[in-house]
Homo-oligomer: A and B are copies of this chain.
Amino acid sequence: MLRELKRVDEVLKEVLKYVSHRILSIRVRTYDAVGKILAEDVYARVDLPPFDRSAVDGYAVRSDDVVSASPSSPVILYLSKSSRVEPGHAVKVCTGDPLPDGADAVVMKEHVVERGEFIEVLKPVPRWGNVSRRGEDFKVGDLVLSRGSVVDNVSAAAMLATGNLEIEVFRPRIGIVCTGSEIVEPECLRDVKDVEEFSRRGIIVNTTRFLVKEVVESLGAEIEYYGIVPDNVDQISNAVSFLLERNDMVIVTGGTAVGDRDLTYSAILRLEPAYVWRGLAIRPAKPTGVAVVNGKPILMLSGFPVAAYVGFTVLGVPILCHMMGIEYRERTMLRGVLTRRVAKPPSLRAYVRVRACIDRRDGIVKVSPLALTGSGLLSTLIKGNAILEIPEELEGFEEGSQVWIRLVRDLNYCEE
């Protein structure tokens, strides 16, 4: 029974003292690293661009040669085939071509008339005009991407182009086991009739694992999914043990609501944890718990999808960051105006699901709390797109208040 609830910060502070296990990093080809978290600061190893290059189609020249050029009195240059631009000469170049030696600018095609072996330049060009200078994008030694960033295709491209063909990324491995004789895997259902049939027996589709997956995958983690184990202390304990050996963290969903049939807690006690706590002063996800065995964390999440999602976000994500030795960065928040009052019980931290939209006219973000607050309510995460956190000390916010929200899905325009 949850006799006492602790603040998230307090539990985090306690548990991190016991989590001694560290998440390994591995060296991978950079183009295979998309989605992973970078385990090192990556610096440019070559200049980008690697050479001065033409930014346009045109003619490489010496800028001094064309200072006086104008349509009425064009400068005439010899069109050379050489790879070097001598005084009085020009060399034809395409966008992206290395700038020939001797040249220090490119005259755009549009400002030139070609006359056989000569060209007429109609306009002057400043020194380095229409030239992308070597290293102007990244110079050797410039920071390209910092440790702790998630690699995407764009940053992978920048690392590759700066000579970083391999990079060091974290490889978190997370074991997940779902408990409960009252859930069934969607893989075991053929059609809606099966869903109805199971419902009649009080058995529901296991959706919680997908909510956990959504957050876990955003951290570039690999998931070992054990499946569902029935409500049996031995089986739960064995599954957790098995997963713990092979992974950096284990997540158990279900069985955390404290009833007589809650066996997850008992199963974890069997593993003689160095630390164990259950009961957070938050809503939803109050029965979230955490234990530490062999320096590795075990998270006990609710069987209810939304509570599992919140529980992992507030406890699991910071613990994983700690194990990678990277700074825990909360998703950035946006400021908006509350469209109606929202209240919560005292001394709990509430995570209220809200629908935020942006007003096309004034650019102001409008924040509407969703009426439903149940921890099982998936619709609040589909209809909603953000979380409004109300700290322990406050009772809520009045209509019209300026509040910070954390986006979990795309922001849309408000319907007029």
Residues of chain A having any CB pair with chain B under 8 Å: 1, 29-31, 45-46, 48-51, 55-57, 92, 94-98, 109, 132, 136-138, 142, 144-145, 152-158, 160-161, 163-165, 182, 186-187, 189-192, 195-196, 199, 202, 204-205, 207-208, 210-211, 213-214, 217, 257-262, 303-305, 309, 331-335, 358, 362-364, 372, 374-379, 381-382, 402, 404, 409-413
Contact = CB atoms under 8 A, between A and B. Distances in A.
Contacts of A94: 257, 259-262
A30 B190 CA distance: 12
Contact of A196 (B30, B163, B195, B199): B163
Given A335-B358, A378-B157, A95 B259 contact: yes
5 closest A-B pairs by beta carbon, nearest first, are A335-B363, A50-B199, A94-B259, A95-B257, A157-B207
A413 B332 contact: yes
Given A163-B196, A332-B412, 10 more contacts: A29-B186, A49-B376, A96-B304, A136-B377, A137-B376, A137-B377, A137-B379, A163-B195, A165-B190, A363-B402
Copies in the complex: 2
A213 B157 CA distance: 11
B161 A205 contact: yes
Nearest to A331: B410
A109 B1 contact: yes
A92 B262 CA distance: 14
Contacts of A1: 109
A132 B376 contact: yes
A57 B374 contact: no
Contacts of A261: 94
28 contacts: A45-B195, A46-B192, A95-B257, A96-B182, A97-B182, A98-B202, A132-B374, A136-B372, A136-B377, A137-B379, A138-B379, A152-B409, A154-B214, A154-B381, A154-B409, A156-B210, A158-B378, A158-B381, A160-B205, A161-B204, A161-B205, A163-B196, A165-B189, A165-B190, A165-B195, A334-B334, A334-B411, A335-B363
A313 to B, nearest CB: 12
A258 B161 contact: no
B378 A48 contact: yes
B45 A192 contact: yes
A323 B259 CA distance: 53
Contacts of A109: 1, 259
Given A95-B257, A153-B214, A358 B372 contact: no
B363 A334 contact: yes
Contact of A192 (B152, B163, B333, B412): B163
A87 to B, nearest CB: 24
Given A204-B49, A363-B402, A379-B138, A186 B31 contact: yes
